[in-house]
Amino acid sequence: RIVYLNGAFLPENEAHISIFDRGFLFGDGIYEVTAVLDGKLVDSDLHMARLERSVREIGGRLPVSTDAIVAIEKRLIAENALTEGVVYLQYTRGAEDRDFLYSEDLPPTLLLFTQQKTIEHAASAEKGIRVKTVPDQRWARRDIKSICLLPQVIAKRAAKDEGCGEAWMLDGDYVTEGASSTAYLITRDGKIITRANSEVTLPGCTRLAVLALAQEAELTIEERPFTLAEAMDAEEICLTSASNFIAPIVAIDGKAIGAGTPGPIYRRLRALYIEHAR
């Protein structure tokens, strides 16, 4: 695989990062994951806007423009002949002797690579995903796409141990979001419920696109927090993320949701999103 690191396109085994990189020592960095379908970036503008925001919020500065980043992503897709999967981008503050304080003129580290993944015909889109709930133990600025993912790594492991494909994070009785996805429920009268964007969750790019499509389709959307009890009693539950688009959730903590199979509103939204992604 050809990867991009600080201005160079290199075979992956020739790309090296310093042991003093602040991403490695402090988790001092942010990332983005953009889907690729039919060799094309999906919702690229939304991901670039969130990237710029994350970098700004940590007081960093991108070494190249977002237009240049999109050109890098397209070249990686072409060089690696990627038709379906994701492009991963990581920005860190750069490398220097270990100190919490950083030099203002430190050149950042910018790394991008592609990863093949079946998204459109993923088995989970038909079979559904089972979810385990865990306490949300993350920091208070979840709107920044930080590379500090230890709580999510632990949550996903706990979910996998119980045969679940995603963990839903709880703040008291309320669902914040999935370990790597936005959470939704659909009520019996067909309303789509998901949290409004705030510092409590990551503002999902897929969420933004799916809600716009839902609105065009004249579905009703209610942006508000919901409890685990409400989710357990919902007609349908689903998640969105760049790496899954939209996926149905069929059980929470072992209890089947609705009919226990992917529901009609999910199916409609998934079809609309795939059409939009093309």
Enumerate binding residues for ligand PDD (CB under 6 A): 33, 177, 180-182, 202, 204-207, 240-243
Q: Assess contact for 109 and 55: CB atoms under 8 A.
A: no
Cα–Cα distance measured from residue 1 to residue 81, given in angstroms and rounded to the nearest whole number = 10
The nearest distance, CB 48 to ligand PDD, in angstroms, is 12
CB distance 52 to 203 below 8 Å:
no
Q: Minimal CB distance to ligand PDD: which residue? A: 206
User: Among residues 44 and 241, whose Cβ is nearest to ligand PDD?
Assistant: 241
For 176, counting Cβ atoms within 10 Å of its Cβ (0-12 exposed, 13-18 middle, 19+ buried), the class is buried
**Burial of 49 (C-beta count, 10 Å sphere; 0-12/13-18/19+):** middle
Minimum distance, C-beta of residue 227 to ligand PDD, in the bound complex (Å):
19
| 166 vs 236 by CB, closer to ligand PDD | 166
Nearer to ligand PDD among residue 35 and residue 257 (C-beta): 35
Q: In angstroms, give the least distance from the CB of 202 to ligand PDD.
A: 4
Instruction: Give whichever of 4 and 88 is closer to ligand PDD, judged by the CB atom.
Output: 88
Nearer to ligand PDD, 95 or 237 (CB): 237
Q: How near is the Cβ of 164 to ligand PDD at its closest, in Å?
A: 16
The C-alpha angle with vertex 218 and arms to 198 and 129, in degrees rounded to 5, equals 60
Instruction: Map residue 215 onto helix, strand or coil.
Output: helix
DSSP per position, 7-61: TEEEEGGG----TTBHHHHH--EEEEEEEEETTEESSHHHHHHHHHHHHHHTT--
What sign results for the dihedral spanned by CA atoms 42, 16, 146, 193? positive
CB of 181 to ligand PDD, least distance (A): 5
Verify whether residue 145 is a known catalytic residue.
yes
Q: One of 145, 156, 160, 191 is an active-site residue; which one?
A: 145
Annotated active-site positions, please? 145
